[in-house]
Amino acid sequence: MGKQLLFGSRKGKLDDKPLINGRRSEMTKTEAAIVSAYTGFLIGSFSDMYEYVEKIMGRKVGTSELGSIEILDEIKEKSKEDFMNIEII
């Protein structure tokens, strides 16, 4: 399946998850929401990402606003610090 912008999702079986150093890679729902908000590619649930977006924007965000380049740029800027602080273990 190809990557999809914000409104898509990729659902695979556990066996489809890539191995990194012989281990399955995992992230929290919050981390997935942060990555989704920053990159524009939905990798978790839409509702988790949407809740995170409203938190960082400090207001209710209409789903129609997610089609605006200006809003997406603002979301990216406001999620950048959280994105850069994701710890890789």
pLDDT per residue, tens digit, the chain (89 aa), is: 444 344 334 444 445 556 666 666 678 999 999 999 999 999 999 999 999 999 999 999 999 999 999 999 999 999 999 999 998 77
Identify the CA nearest to 43 among candidates 86, 21, 12, 84: 12
Alpha-carbon span 51 to 63, nearest angstrom: 11
pTM of the complete model: 0.73
Tokens 């850069």 correspond to 84
**Spatial separation of the C-alpha atoms in residues 71 and 89, rounded to whole Å:** 32
| Cα gap 31→9, rounded to integer Å | 15
